[in-house]
Amino acid sequence: MNLKTPPTCKHMRSKNIMVPDFTDPEVEFSIDQGVQHYWCLCTMTTAGPDNDFVAAEMCQKGRACFEAE
């Protein structure tokens, strides 16, 4: 069973990224760990360049403004 989340756009951000957990190096970071608020670095708002909402489940391959790492 593969529980890995699909890659998200490199421009998507959340507060989760700003506060890394350095206490346990074995814990794998996932951008979707209960986070509710995301923003796009291109627009600096909660909407992407295509005027659609920024969210982990939406900012993935197939979206017009998506850019991989």
pLDDT tens across 3-54, in order? 566 788 999 998 766 555 556 566 555 555 556 789 999 999 999 999 999 9
Plot region of 63 (φ>0 → left; ψ -120 to 50 → alpha; else → beta): beta
Residue 46 is predicted with a pLDDT of 95
SS3 44: coil
C-alpha–C-alpha distance, residues 55 and 52, integer Å: 9
Encoding tokens for residue 44?
């600096």
Pick the residue with more confidence: 1 or 4? 4
